[in-house]
Amino acid sequence: MTDNELIWRIAGGSGDGIDSTSQNFAKALMRSGLHVFTHRHYPSRIRGGHTFVEVRAKDEPVQSRGDGYNFLLALGDSFARNPQDEAYYGKEELKPLYENFDDLREGGVLVYDEGLLDDEDVAEIGLEEAAEENGWHLVPMDLRGIAKEHGREIMRNTAGIGATAAILDIGTEEFETLIEENMSGDMLEANLNVLQDAYEAASELDVDHDIEVPESSHDEEQVILSGSNAISYGALDEGCRFISGYPMTPWTDVFTIMSQHLPEFGGISEQVEDEIAAAALALGASHMGVKSMSGSSGGGFALMSEPLGLAEMTETPIVLVEAMRAGPSTGMPTKPEQADLEHVLYTSQGDSARVVFAPANIRECYTQTRAAFRIAYEYQIPAIVVYDQKIQGELRNLPASHFDEEPNADPGSVLTEAEIEEAAHHASGKFKRFQHDPEDGSNVSPRSVPGQKDGRYLATGNEHNEEGHISEDPENRIAQMERRLQKLDDIRADLDENADHQTYYGPEDADYGILVWGSQQDTVFEAVDRLNENGHSVKALGVSDMAPYPVEQVSEWLDSVDEALVVEMNATAQFRGLTQKEIGKYGDKLSSLLKYNGNPFEPAEIVDGFETSINGEDLAASNMKYLPAAGD
Amino acid sequence: MSAFSAIGEDREIERDEFTPGIEPQATWCPGCGDFGVLKALKQAMPEVGRNPDEIALFTGIGCSGKLNSYFNSYGFHTIHGRSLPVARAAKLANPDVEVIAAGGDGDGYGIGGNHLIHTARENHDMTYIVFNNEIFGLTKGQTSPTSPKGHKSKTQPHGSAKSPIRPLSQSLNAGATYIARTAAVNPNQAKEIIAEAIEHDGFAHIDFLTQCPTWNKDAKHYVPYTDIQQSDDYDFDVSNRQEAAEMMFETENKLYEGEVLTGRYYVEDERPSYGEEKRQIGEMPDDPLAERYFDEDAEWERTYDNLLEHHK
């Protein structure tokens, strides 16, 4: 852990308000001038279990969750299963306490709710011994008692915030403001009282610790939001006014946000019977000229394979979001993984073409969703935004001005009626929707939408001729296939010119490289800084365009290093495989650091992984896998 | 000029306008009942009074899916069983366009069965014509969800152990507001029902009996038929759900016993269509969403102005 930072972890059972409390805590710290980043860990269970959220705060922009943490607020699990289950599950109410021992750093502070947790039970789990060994500062407080005194037991989290504020000496002003913004009446008063009481009670304890909360102030207005927020806002700013979906973790987040806001933007949201229907609806709306999106997570996205192919064949633009979680099958619903890359790249039959973007952080979630819409609608091709459960739920601050962008409602290559009148028509009167050789040579054959005069055509998933009629004519087949596939080259050129999504990091002349994609990028960047401080010579490249792949940019970068480690959250090195396949070489230069235990990389793990792998040693850590270079 | 000037055009609509100027290659077998659907559909169009540019026809896969090739309108030949979800969104995106969906019995009652239940349940304002020939045609004669019990085919050589689906009862239970059965051998009734269904404001399901002379020669029981409205033996109120349900049940038994009953079974005019319901609760804009992308005066809001405040 670096100096001068706070990593505050709040732990409890699902349903104990861990998430909302952490959000408020992070927002309060941001308002006080700090940069913040949250990391969320939760089980696939609605009430109870062990859930925690970390809030990392620094005086400079935070790239990752960091390593471990230095302050634990253990609320205990108030939704623990009934005592009869204890033999099987253990004492569940204690989990938020003892399950967090591993990563609490030496000298850390540990506040726990002795109002909920029985002293004898706490003694049994060896808390005192562990605290002595690690130099932890134990702060047992009756948070439940304080909460109950002024309101309800559930306000234990507010009491915990009060205690935190006192122990860290950061005052309660920002928290009070937030409570006032979110509550009213009796609830407001009760929470303010709980906050104040806990603050005073903790102030009297005089905990002697070394944690220094950094001080900082932003030079421009900040906002704190999640990747799902950013994807949704990117879609809205790009004129997306139709969404259809079926709930599935973690995709549900984008679906929910969009459903809540679309009516106020004059749009339509549809929750439908399954994911096949969801993607089909998005296609139907887009066919009519409306910018639309759908999405899912792995299993649901599998169902979308068929409509995805239909979108490709009929050249109907849509944007699909794929929020990855650990698989195969239903896998681990609330845990992140980057193992659906090949799924989004190759699903659907035939020589199919789609665009795939993998934003690396919240900033990119916004910009690349916008790019996905622009490309999809200009080039009449499905575009997929693939991200994972990590970015979906983590919050990060960034300047509000990042979103100060003009909307783009242009539905791309849709003709007006006046233009249709001038356009090519078949002798039957049908509009040549799928011209072999579009006049501007762009391979994009402009379209009409139902209701427009004299724009009639047939959209079909079968191979078809220029006006859309089913055709198995060999020459027509070649012409249509070539035109559809060549759009990918045009898109590559467009992206290189207008939206360079690849992120270069570290000294240009470094000997070694780390290649990374998606949500692990910024953690790698933090590791690169540390490696260079440790005397290594390392740079990194974060790739966000998965298809069409930025062959030239990555080749050039790989040429400039002796070796490169590919870091990704899956067991089969999918991105490394893609890179080798696309570039056709460097198989002897690329090794892999893989993690697939349900938790994202921490920067220290990447540092360790890099050092051991580059030195040719085996990885000591059992939670990661090193895969050496294997040739082309 | 409106972005959709074809919509609402006030003129006489001719049947011939719906025939493509140059006939595509005919791929239906000689004597196929699907010709009857096509004919009835074209004949209904002058009564409906909408021109080819304001009609969007969505089909599934199979012989029925070829309807698009012979009917001159905007067309979308989708994927097996999925015409309804595509069509639903199309209607929501531009309610001014007339949306018609069509599919076969395998397409609509088998692979697309779930979509049918939900489309009927939501009462989308569209017409769904199911070409029911009790067989999979384009895949060469396999047993379909409407094939009678004991039906032998290459995939069920011992005779199907399954009872056929009851499509009318199913749609009624799900919530469709116009339900009828007609037959290719009864062109006048078919034309009337199609016109009525299109004009109906809600989900109209037509089970359209078509013969398959190639794969289902046994299905001769489509002749003779009886129109339940014209027969004194079948007196019931088409707006009464209970009576309609009983009629459907009886009819669906008789379908495989020689006498074929056709006609309107259920017509409900009170219930608003799904789009209307959505509009009433504020989940759908008053004007067609699709129009806005062509409207130069439309104001497109930024999230920066609306949503960012919450994150500060």
Express each pLDDT in B200-239 by its tens digit.
999 999 999 999 989 988 776 667 788 998 888 888 999 9
Residue B158, C-beta contacts closer than 8 angstroms, at least 6 positions apart: B152
Cβ contact, residue pair A266, B285, below 8 Å: yes
Pairing of strands A268-271, A242-245: parallel
pLDDT tops 80 at residue A317: yes
Residues of A in contact with B92 (CB under 8 A): 242, 268, 270, 285
Residue A185, C-beta contacts closer than 8 angstroms, at least 6 positions apart: none
Residue of B nearest to A260 (CA): B283
Residues of B in contact with A268 (CB under 8 A): 92-93, 278, 283-285, 289
**Nearest beta carbon to residue B293 from set A284, A411, A453:** A411
pLDDT tops 60 at residue A342: yes
Vertex B74 angle, CA B68 and B75, to 5°: 35
Residues of A in contact with B275 (CB under 8 A): none
Q: Count Cβ–Cβ pairs < 8 Å, chain A vs chain B.
A: 236
Interface check for B280 against chain A (CB to CB < 8 A): the answer is no
Exposure class string for B66-98: b at 16+ Cβ within 10 A, else e: bbbbbbbbbbbbbbbbbbbbbbbbbbbbbbbbb
pLDDT tops 80 at residue A89: no
Residues of B in contact with A289 (CB under 8 A): 93-94, 290, 293-294
What values do phi and psi take at A512, rounded to 5? -110, 155
CB A139 within 8 A of CB A205: yes
pLDDT of amino acid A280: 98
Give the residue from A232, A405, A460 with the most B CB atoms within 10 Å of its CB, the best one to mutate.
A460
Residues of A in contact with B296 (CB under 8 A): none
pLDDT tops 90 at residue B1: no
Of A227, A233, A275, A303, nearest to A518 (Cα)?
A227
CA distance B227 to B229: 5
Give how far A254 is from chain B: nearest CA, Å: 14
Interface check for B285 against chain A (CB to CB < 8 A): the answer is yes
Cβ contact, residue pair A456, B76, below 8 Å: no
Cβ contact, residue pair B79, A406, below 8 Å: no
> Distances from the Cα of A88 to the Cαs of A76, A116, A272, B81, in angstroms?
18, 21, 39, 47
pLDDT of amino acid B20: 86
Interface check for B26 against chain A (CB to CB < 8 A): the answer is no
> Lowest-confidence range among A4-13, A294-303, A310-319?
A4-13
Give how far A328 is from chain B: nearest CA, Å: 25
pLDDT tops 50 at residue A105: yes
Express each pLDDT in B279-307 by its tens digit.
999 999 999 999 999 999 999 999 999 99
**Nearest beta carbon to residue A244 from set B3, B89, B284:** B89
pLDDT bin (cut points 50, 70, 90) of residue A1 is very low
What values do phi and psi take at B100, rounded to 5? -125, 135
Residues of A in contact with B82 (CB under 8 A): 276-277, 280, 306-307, 310
Average pLDDT over residues A313-330: 98
pLDDT bin (cut points 50, 70, 90) of residue B26 is low
Cβ contact, residue pair B92, A268, below 8 Å: yes
Please, what's the largest Cα pairwise distance for chain B? 73
Give how far A208 is from chain B: nearest CA, Å: 33
pLDDT tops 80 at residue B161: yes
Question: Three-state SS across A295-356?
Answer: EECHHHHHHCHHHHHHHHHHCCCCEEEEEECECCCCCECCCCCCCCHHHHHHCCCCCCCCEE
Among residues of chain A, what percentage have pLDDT more than 70? 98
Express each pLDDT in A559-593 by its tens digit.
999 999 999 999 999 999 999 999 999 999 999 99
Exposed / middle / buried, residue B223 (Cβ in 10 Å: 0-12, 13-18, 19+): exposed
Average pLDDT, chain B: 93
The token pair at A480 is 């249509």
pLDDT of amino acid A91: 79
Give how far A465 is from chain B: nearest CA, Å: 11
Residues of B in contact with A224 (CB under 8 A): 311
Q: Which residue has the tokens 């921490």?
A: A602
Give how far B27 is from chain A: nearest CA, Å: 11
Cβ contact, residue pair B90, A284, below 8 Å: yes
Interface check for B304 against chain A (CB to CB < 8 A): the answer is yes
Vertex A389 angle, CA A386 and A393, to 5°: 115
The token pair at B164 is 């056929």
CB neighbours of residue B282 within 10 Å = 9
pLDDT bin (cut points 50, 70, 90) of residue A129 is very high
Residue of A nearest to B75 (CA): A458
pLDDT of amino acid B25: 63
Span between the terminal Cα atoms of chain A, in Å = 38
Give how far A227 is from chain B: nearest CA, Å: 13
Give how far B262 is from chain A: nearest CA, Å: 31
CB A238 within 8 A of CB A291: yes
Residue A629 DSSP class: -
Give how far A226 is from chain B: nearest CA, Å: 10
Of A350, A381, A405, nearest to A495 (Cα)?
A381
Cβ contact, residue pair A284, B89, below 8 Å: yes
Interface check for B89 against chain A (CB to CB < 8 A): the answer is yes
CB A39 within 8 A of CB A54: yes
Q: Which amino acid is at A130?
A: A
Cβ contact, residue pair A451, B290, below 8 Å: yes
Residues of A in contact with B294 (CB under 8 A): 289, 416
Among residues of chain A, what percentage have pLDDT more than 90? 86
Average pLDDT over residues A316-328: 98
pLDDT tops 80 at residue A2: no
pLDDT tops 80 at residue A81: no
Interface check for B242 against chain A (CB to CB < 8 A): the answer is no
> Lowest-confidence range among A415-419, A470-474, A605-609, B23-27?
B23-27
CA distance B220 to B223: 6
**Nearest beta carbon to residue B69 from set A411, A427, A470:** A470
Residues of A in contact with B279 (CB under 8 A): none
pLDDT of amino acid B221: 60
CA distance A495 to A543: 13
Residue B175, C-beta contacts closer than 8 angstroms, at least 6 positions apart: B120, B121, B122, B123, B203
Helix (H) or strand (E) holding A229: helix A227-237
Average pLDDT, chain A: 94
Residue of A nearest to B26 (CA): A470
Q: What is the layout of strands, in order, in the sheet containing A292-296? A: A268-271, A242-245, A292-296, A319-324, A383-388, A355-357, A545-547
Average pLDDT over residues A12-20: 90
More confident residue, B26 or A543: A543
Residue B187, C-beta contacts closer than 8 angstroms, at least 6 positions apart: B36, B39, B40, B43
Cβ contact, residue pair A405, B302, below 8 Å: yes
CA distance A283 to B193: 29
pLDDT bin (cut points 50, 70, 90) of residue B99 is very high
Cβ contact, residue pair A282, B89, below 8 Å: yes
Interface check for B302 against chain A (CB to CB < 8 A): the answer is yes
Residue B173, C-beta contacts closer than 8 angstroms, at least 6 positions apart: none
Among residues of chain B, what percentage have pLDDT more than 70? 96
**Nearest beta carbon to residue B308 from set A223, A307, A452:** A223
Cβ contact, residue pair B77, A224, below 8 Å: no
Q: What is the layout of strands, in order, in the sheet containing A6-14? A: A137-141, A104-113, A69-74, A6-14, A48-58, A35-41, A395-399, A222-226
List all residues of chain B from 92 to 121 with a beta carbon under 8 Å from chain A.
Answer: 92-94, 96-97, 114-115, 117-118
What values do phi and psi take at B238, rounded to 5? -70, -15
Interface check for B8 against chain A (CB to CB < 8 A): the answer is no
Interface check for B64 against chain A (CB to CB < 8 A): the answer is no
Of B273, B277, B275, nearest to B288 (Cα)?
B275
**Nearest beta carbon to residue B94 from set A277, A288, A458:** A288
Q: What is the ipTM of this complex?
A: 0.97
Residue A447 DSSP class: B
The token pair at B73 is 């309108």
Residues of A in contact with B4 (CB under 8 A): 417, 451-453
Express each pLDDT in A173-230 by its tens digit.
999 999 999 999 999 999 999 999 999 999 999 899 999 999 888 999 999 999 999 9
Please, what's the largest Cα pairwise distance for chain A? 90
More confident residue, A80 or B77: B77
> Distances from the Cα of A208 to the Cαs of A134, A139, B86, B204, in angstroms?
15, 11, 65, 75
pLDDT of amino acid A326: 97
The token pair at B89 is 């969104």
Give how far A239 is from chain B: nearest CA, Å: 7
Express each pLDDT in A584-609 by its tens digit.
999 999 999 999 999 999 999 999 99
CA distance B211 to B208: 10
Among residues of chain B, what percentage have pLDDT more than 90? 83
Cβ contact, residue pair B97, A288, below 8 Å: yes
Residues of B in contact with A265 (CB under 8 A): 301, 306
Cβ contact, residue pair B74, A280, below 8 Å: no
> Distances from the Cα of B237 to the Cαs of A361, B234, B309, in angstroms?
62, 10, 57
**Nearest beta carbon to residue A455 from set B7, B53, B304:** B53
Q: Can you say whether the dihedral through the CA atoms of B305, B308, B310, B312 is positive or negative?
A: negative
